[in-house]
Chain A
Amino acid sequence: MKYIIHIIIFALIPVCLSAQQVPAEPQSEPILILNGTAHLGDGSKLENAAIAFENGKISLVGDVGTIRVDQSKYKVVDATGKHIYPGFIAMNSQIGLKEIDAVRATRDNREVGSFNPSIRSLIAFNTDSRVTPTIRSNGVLMAQIVPEGGRMPGQSSVMKLDGWNWEDAQYKADQGIHLRWPVPFRRMGWWAAPGPIKKNDKYDEEVREIKQFFKEAKAYGESSNPEITNMKFEAMKGLYGGSKKLYIHTNFAKPIMEAVLFAKENGMEPVIVGGKDSWQITDFLKEQDVMIILKKTQDLPVREYDDIDQPFKTPKMLSDAGVIYAFSLDGAWEQRNLVFQAGQAVSYGLDYEKAIEGLTLSPAKILGIDDKTGSLKNGKDATLLIVKGDVLDMRTCVIEKAFIEGREIDLDNKQKALSRKFTKKYGIDIDND
């Protein structure tokens, strides 16, 4: 089967080894996936599933044994022994903003200055990135694109990882403003002579500066007709009305609490990004109903004496406490390993379906797009994957098909093409998929 796909791809684009993947056409015919195990994304699964979608929307989710459906109306995909997942959503990523980390000309991820709420990642999103297809072929179909640097790096947008241009690829524009909370501990010394990590004695001052900025932004927003337009404060308006979320990047427990209380007091809806130590304050997070974009699971513990597997089991601790969180990892190309952040958590006790939820419905909730996507549910976008094996385990994972809004996505990428080029040269056969 896979071999046949290869031949087809070769037939279509025989010469372009590093050719870009062509954005998929809109769904042209209804598709029915039968007999697979559907991981719905809402924490449940359905064996022997029948999943149908047309015009980009899911039209049927049911049990093959109980649902009656006229197969002749569909293009039928047999998924016996296979798994169906909603497309995964990469959170807090720089996909399309950074092509080659070390090459300045290819970086569009940060701006000069500290408070930049009006800066938008949306328009810098490069739909022609060669990195994106390597992420997509590992199941990531949508992403939150987040600018970096400074106290307030700017606004994030949700993008589909397939499109002709950024307008085409956008799923939800300017959906949140990012705030990097001051760090309570800083390394002393300078680069030539690193010292110990000590309390940041400017912490209070830095927090005051934030509070002042937000106060002024609020006052600006409340005045009906400001004399002089302030772009920064204009951008902040949505925060107080609830149309934009406030993503607060912070990792230690105390700043998390401080930041959450600050946001709530000012009528904003906070999301914590990072939250390495969130496991210490799960009660607080649950009580405050705060959601978290969790720093990568496959990480080292913060402190020397921490349990050696602390980052591995943090998702389970949050899950047990009922805190909603999404898996994430920093960067652009790194997003190819997003699924394994969830796999690692399953390995350390997290329920499998809940792990899938942390890659699908929970991120959708955090982004405020769960009404349209994030789970396999009637009426939602047909953004989904068909996988041979367990998508969370590199030992068995093979992603066979991917659909974004019903459009079947090209899972080829530059790396596969290079592999084909040289295996052909050597006359050897390896599995390039």
Chain B
Amino acid sequence: MVFPDFQQLSFYSIIHRMKRSIHILLFPLLFIFTDSYAQKTFPQNGVFDHREGIYAFVNATIQVTPERSITNSTLVIKDGKILNVGSGVPVPGNAVIYDMNGRFIYPSFIDIYSDYGMPGPASVGTAPSQRPQMLSNKKGAYMWNEALKPEFKAHEAFKSNNEMAKGWRKIGFGAVSSHLKDGISRGTSVLVNLGSGKEHEQILKEQTAHHMAFSKGKSTQNYPSSLMGAIALIRQTYYDAQWYSQNGKKEEMNISLDAWNSLKGLPHVFDVRDRLEILRANKIGKEFGIRYIFKGNGDEYMRLDEIKKSGSAIILPLKFPAAYDVSDAFDAMQVSLSDMKHWELAPTNPGRLAQAGIPLAFTLHGLKNKGDFIDNIRKAIENGLSEKDALAALTTVPARLINAENIIGTLEKGKEANFIITDKPVFEKGAKIHQNWIGGEGFILQGFGEEAPLDEGIYDLKINRKRYVLHIDEKDDKLSFLIKENDTTDIKVQHSFKDKILSLSFKEEDKLIRLTGTASDKNTIKGKGYDAEGNWAGWSIRPTGKTLIPEEEKKKEEEKKKTEVQLGDVVYPFLPYGWKEKPEAETVLIKNATIWTNEADGILENADILLSNGKISQIGKELNVRADKVIDGEGKHVTCGIIDEHSHIAISRGVNEGTQYSSAEVSIADVVNSEDVNIYRNLSGGVTTAQLLHGSANPIGGQSGIVKFRWGFTPEEMKVKGAAPFIKFALGENVKQSNWGDNYSIRFPQSRMGVEAVYDDHFIRAKEYGKLKRSGKPFRKDLEMETLLEIIESKRFVTCHSYVQSEINMLMKVAERHGFTLNTFTHILEGYKIADKMQKHGAGGSTFSDWWAYKYEVIDAIPYNAAILDKMKVITALNSDDAEMSRRLNQEAAKGVMYGGMTEEEAWKLVTLNPAKLLHLDDMMGSLKPGKDADVVVWSENPLSIYAHVEMTFVDGIRFFDKERDLEMRDEIRKERNRLIQKMIGEKSKGGKTQAPSMKYQQHYHCDHIDDEMGEQQEGHQHEDHHDH
């Protein structure tokens, strides 16, 4: 770059744009540049103009590191690097010297989550119109999956872009680490300066980090369509890479796996969409000995303790939600409480993370208007972030995270000459970044303003003999001039100040008075001008000594601070009905209740039950024991908790990985969502345990997550420890894609005949895999085969979605051929047709009470199914598969009485003991027996009645639901909403930004749900719910 561009020269245009008129230029030089870094390898066109590029900035307050600030000091740079820094350091004779007059110098900011200079993400090819794409469109010896591109190298694709860089420079950034934001593995990032020159000189470090995400990006391939699929794909890739480096390379050439292995030593940056995904990715990291750096989402404070435990650093977008426009009561009602609370608490997130000791870097990612960046930092600082941590998050921490701390991040000797010059401490309100030096290239963003000749106060303005009271007020760095006529009338005075000359003009009775003068002393101006009559007049401004006392404003300011201090609680989970404190187990004695034991004792009248240490301790008459809590059970019924064998609540981003006919490698356990209000609603229906199942889109589905509804706990804490592993299989219309439309006719199988082939083929392959594994020969660890092997070895049990008798029979025969027992048929609506065969095989059934006619294969479903299966000694359960029905499974059990005349005791077991048996959990739960888990429900009456209400639900002796407390919480929710609405209205009236109300989407999965959940996040399209049962 030989000549400075016009924009940088154009101080006048900058000044014009500025409201404050008092400016002079301190720097005689408009632009500082040097061509000393021009590409050495390029031919010269014209006269060689080499400059030393030695500059000394004297008299500055220099923030060398976030911890160390030195005053009256000097910074010397040469050839784009820092030559020296300190007080009294020698200034080379040939240096250009700039006097900073006490101004402030900081290291320029660094953003390590940028896509500056990257090509726009693009799909490799086009997806087949409306039809599935099974493999990658990318030609060449790359991975089979299009979303994995570890071979991408950002430094090879990087193109510097001065126009874009300008936006970054303006707000103080000097260097960014850029990567292509596309795909699950995104290859490496490159660290570049934001200077104006060619790529050759801007690249500081060619490979800074490996970037990953739980998002397919522009990949048009179907797999993975779910978060659990993405997790499995990442894990499998780690294993594939191990295999490849050991033995695989002999078998195939794979550029992607080669690249993957070569990235090992780099930091790994993982993009997540929410707090739970940090925990999920962290689990992957633990498995493979990697500690990821996370690009967070701003909601980390909602699970702070667990995130802290992960030990990971967070790159935080500095984006805070705007207040909702809640002026319409009905519209406001649609805004979720969590969104409202997050609006209030989001600015406290950076401070909370920093205080927890989590290494923090900031990114502009996701910020629509870069100009909001510095305001948001200030907001974070007002909300508990220290200035030191803020600065570190913009300089040293990002530098360290990408192992570039020896290049950038501080103003120490030898580092890049990347620094900004400000008029005030950078985070102070109104501070301006005047210059940004990058690699020794100086960018002047705005001239230094001249110190105003007049301070805030009350002055005496005299024009000839006429006197006026002049108020000068300073607000947000701008002076306003007002003439006070009397208590009610003010005259606005226009003013401008340039080159030490002050011009004033104002109207008096419609006639203009114009004055021009210069400062003789501080706060004293004298000059000449025209008075209202057009007479040439002398005038002056002198201080009266009186000051403006904005008492009211001060009070307001204080009050504002007070109200801001009043913040809502962080609750767990961050939802309505969340806990402020983690609940603990109590010793509970329930007296004189009707106790449904589900044991030989049957239903005990007027009996007592004691819960202690999370277990059922005693059951009997007139127990004489001490307890923390004694409950009068008079008229009440006590049962064990309901167990839902088939549930899809509490699952994040996709219930099906139905893009392949087998997805045995995926697991719902990886995507348990502790932040689903349906957990609480289920507890209010007496449900304490559920099997969270993969959907039914493919014959071999995914592994289950078996959880207790420990509301408020983390996904890991919700899982039932020691539960037997399960996997979902599926038969019939869903797996042959019968109801997905005519475009879905590609994936094998398309008939029940093909379904059998899938199973046989997979089990044969799994057996061969097992043989190879045991042989000691090298093998590629295959997560899908590992799972199938567990099934054959009876270490993992199958729950199979099934409807018609032929397929049920078929699968039992397949299992028998391969030497295992099919544990559970779920749905099993035609089970009654082959109950004898099921009994003989040893399979259980988990069915619906009365669903039918929703698809062809349920045309023969009957509500007597459960009663017949039960009578035929098949272990039989009733399940929900539905977020609504699951909270009244007690009523579904009663339908066993209604249809088929089961006894009440046996009917009750359909939702308790029997599902416990099906899940191999009956040694822990499913009945009331001393020693079993204290998963206990207190009912207002016979639990099979539609009139029965749950009064309390205990899980492990912890009272997770209590009707009385629920009523109190409703009241608290109302109060909290009201407080936040008032606060938002206050924000709006202050002129703050607002956004239109929106509702939180509550995803309710069923097993046929096949939406692709791994695409990019986007808005803008209107959406009609596409969903069938």
Q: Which residues of B contact A198 (CB under 8 A)?
A: 996, 998-999, 1019
B1017 touches which one: A193, A200, A398 (CB < 8 A)? A193
In the assembled complex, the CB of B261 is this many whole angstroms from the nearest CB of chain A, namely: 32
Interface residues of A in 165-211 (CB under 8 A from B): 184-200, 202
Q: A395-B942, A428-B868 given as contacts; is B891 within 8 A of A419 (CB)? A: no
CB neighbours of A196 from chain B (8 A):
998-1001, 1019
Query: B885's closest neighbor in chain A, by CB?
Result: A298
B576 touches A102 (CB 8 A): no
* A300-B860 contact given A200-B1022, A340-B946, A393-B945, CB 8 Å threshold: no
In the complex the two chains form, what is the Cα distance from A198 to B999 in whole Å?
6
Which residues in window 246-284 of A have CB below 8 A to B?
252-254, 280
A22 within 8 Å of B by Cβ?
Answer: no
B836 touches A185 (CB 8 A): no
A199 touches B996 (CB 8 A): yes
- Whether B336 pairs with A254 at a CB distance below 8 angstroms is no
- Grouping DSSP codes into helix (H, G, I), strand (E, B) and loop, the B interface class, with mixed when no group exceeds half, is loop
A397 touches B1026 (CB 8 A): no
CB-based contact A430/B867 at 8 Å:
yes
Q: A100 to B851, alpha carbons, bound, how many Å? A: 12
Once the chains bind, are A346 and B947 in contact (CB under 8 Å)? yes
Q: How far is the CA of A305 from the CA of B1029 in the complex (A)?
A: 26
Within 8 A of B (CB), among A271-304: 280, 298-301, 303-304
Is A102 within 8 A of B864, CB to CB? no
Chain B, 1009-1025, contact with A by CB distance < 8 Å: what is the 0/1 string? 00111011111111111
CB–CB B868/A419 < 8 A: yes
Q: Which residues of B sit under 8 angstroms from A101, Cβ to Cβ?
A: 853-855, 1028-1029
B337 within 8 A of A: yes
> Smallest CB–CB gap between B838 and chain A, Å?
12
| Inter-chain contacts of B861 with A (CB < 8 A) | 415
Complex contact A393–B946 (CB within 8 A): yes
Q: Which of A102, A200, A416 has the most CB of B within 10 A?
A: A102
Q: How far is the CA of A276 from the CA of B895 in the complex (A)?
A: 27
Check: A423 CB closer than 8 A to any chain B CB. yes
Q: Are B1023 and A300 in contact (CB under 8 A)?
A: no
Bound-complex Cα distance A308 to B977 (A)? 16
Please tell me which one of the listed residues A99, A195, A303 contacts residue B333 in the complex, with CB atoms under 8 A apart: A303
* Residues of chain B with a CB closer than 8 A to A254's CB: 330-331
| Nearest Cβ on chain B to A388's Cβ, whole angstroms | 11
Residue A431 interfacial (CB < 8 Å) = yes
Complex Cα spacing A415 to B159, Å:
70
Is A337 among interface residues, defined by CB-CB distance under 8 A? Answer: yes
Q: Which residues of A contact B577 (CB under 8 A)?
A: 308
0/1 interface trace, chain B 510-552, chain A, CB 8 Å (1 if under): 0000000000000000000000000000000000000000000
CB-based A-B contact count at 8 angstroms: 220
Q: Mark B826-852, 1 if CB is under 8 A from A, else 0.
A: 000000110110000000000000111
Known contacts A393-B945, A393-B946; A102/B854 CB under 8 A: yes
A195 to B859, CA, bound (A): 36
| Contact between chains at A418 and B1018 (CB < 8 Å) | no
B860 neighbours in A (Cβ, 8 Å): 418
A299 to B853, CA, bound (A): 20
A305 partner residues in chain B, CB cutoff 8 A: 336-337, 576, 973, 977
- Contacts A103-B855, A253-B330 given; does A419 touch B864 at CB 8 Å: yes
Do A191 and B1023 touch (CB < 8 A)?
A: yes
> Which residue in B872, B902, B999 is a CB contact (below 8 Å) of A185?
B999
Q: Closest residue to B864 on the A side, CB-wise? A: A419
Interface status of B800 (Cβ within 8 A of chain A)? no
Interface residues of B in 311-334 (CB under 8 A from A): 330-331, 333-334
Contact of A189 among B864, B904, B1019 (CB under 8 A): B1019
Q: Is there a chain A Cβ closer than 8 Å to B747's Cβ?
A: no
Does any Cβ of B come within 8 Å of A347's Cβ?
Answer: yes
Chain B residues, Cβ within 8 Å of A398:
898
Which A residues are in CB contact (< 8 Å) with B894? 393-395
A337 touches B1022 (CB 8 A): no
**Nearest B residue (CB) for A99:** B853
Which residues of B807-834 have CB atoms within 8 Å of chain A's CB atoms?
Answer: 832-833
- Complex CA distance for A298 and B885, rounded to whole angstroms: 8
Query: What residues of chain A lie closer than 8 Å to B996, measured between beta carbons?
Result: 198-199
- In the complex, which residues of chain A have a beta carbon less than 8 angstroms from the beta carbon of B945? 393, 395-396
For A340, list chain B residues within 8 Å (CB): 891, 946
CB contact between B336 and one of A304, A307, A336, A396 (< 8 Å): that residue: A304
| C-alpha gap A329/B780 in the complex (Å) | 53
Residues of B within 8 A of A308 (CB): 577, 680-681, 684, 966
B888 and A430 contacting across the interface, CB-CB below 8 Å:
no
Is B1002 in contact with chain A by the CB < 8 A criterion?
A: yes
Q: How many chain B residues have a CB neighbour from A under 8 Å? A: 89
Are the CB atoms of B946 and A343 closer together than 8 Å? yes
Once the chains bind, are B859 and A100 in contact (CB under 8 Å)? yes
Most buried by A among B860, B904, B1003, B1022: B1022
CB of A115 closer than 8 Å to a CB of B = no
Pair B1019/A336 contact, Cβ less than 8 Å:
no
A432 touches B946 (CB 8 A): no
Determine the distance from Cα of A42 to Cα of B653 in the docked complex, in whole angstroms.
49
Chain B residue numbers with a CB within 8 Å of A423 are: 868
Q: Across the interface, do A197 and B1000 meet the contact criterion of CB distance under 8 Å?
A: yes
**Cβ of B402 to closest chain A Cβ, rounded Å:** 30
Complex CA–CA separation, A340 to B885 (angstroms): 12
Are A100 and B1017 neighbours in the complex by a CB distance under 8 Å?
no
Which residues of chain A from 302 to 324 have any CB-CB distance to chain B below 8 Å in the complex? 303-305, 307-309
Contact indicator B835/A426 (Cβ below 8 Å): yes
Interfacial chain A residues near B884, Cβ < 8 Å: 298-300
A188 touching B680 by the CB < 8 A rule?
Answer: no
Contact assessment for A195 and B855 in the assembled complex, using a CB-CB cutoff below 8 Å:
no
Cα separation A55 to B568 with both chains bound (whole Å): 69
Return the chain A residue nearest B976 by Cβ.
Answer: A305
B862 interfacial contact with A, CB 8 Å: yes
In the complex, per-residue mask of A406-433: 1 if CB is within 8 Å of any chain B CB, else 0:
0000000001101100110010101110
Residues A188 and B868 in contact, CB atoms below 8 Å apart: no
Q: Is the CB of A394 within 8 A of B949?
A: no
Instruction: Tell whether B575 is near chain A: CB-to-CB under 8 Å.
Output: yes
CB distance from A298 to the nearest CB of B (A): 7
Give chain A residues whose Cβ lies under 8 Å from the Cβ of B898: 394-395, 397-398
- Most-contacted residue by chain B among A99, A194, A196, A396 (CB, 10 A): A194
Complex contacts, A395 vs chain B, CB 8 Å: 894, 897-898, 904, 942, 944-946
Given A100-B855, A304-B576, A430-B867, answer yes or no on A347-B946 (Cβ-Cβ < 8 Å). Answer: yes
The answer, yes or no, to whether A33 is at the interface (CB within 8 Å) is no
Any A CB within 8 A of the CB of B739: yes
Q: Does B881 contact A (CB under 8 A)?
A: no
The smallest C-beta distance from B949 to any residue of chain A, in angstroms, reads 7
B850 contacts A337, CB within 8 Å?
Answer: yes
A333 at interface, CB cutoff 8 A: yes
Contact of B883 among A195, A300, A415 (CB under 8 A): A300
Residues of A104-130 contacting chain B, CB below 8 A: none
Known: A189-B1021, A392-B946. A432 touches B900 (CB 8 A): yes
Whether A418 contacts B856 by the Cβ 8 Å rule is: no
List chain A residues, Cβ under 8 A from B993: none
Assembly CA distance A419 to B829 (angstroms): 12
Return the contact of A304 from the options B337, B835, B872, B1011 (Cβ within 8 A).
B337
B970 interface residue (CB < 8 Å to A): yes
Counting CB contacts under 8 A, is B677 at the interface? yes
| A131-B853, A303-B334 known; A102 vs B1016 contact (CB < 8 Å) | no
Q: Which residues of A contact B (CB under 8 A)?
A: 99-103, 131, 134, 184-200, 202, 252-254, 280, 298-301, 303-305, 307-309, 332-333, 336-337, 340, 343-344, 346-347, 392-398, 415-416, 418-419, 422-423, 426, 428, 430-432
Question: Apart from A100-B854, A189-B1023, A300-B678, what are 11 other A-B pairs with CB-CB below 8 Å?
Answer: A102-B733, A187-B1001, A187-B1022, A191-B1026, A305-B973, A308-B684, A393-B894, A394-B897, A395-B897, A422-B833, A432-B900
6 A–B contacts, CB within 8 A, in A order: A192-B1011, A195-B1001, A197-B1000, A254-B331, A303-B336, A340-B891
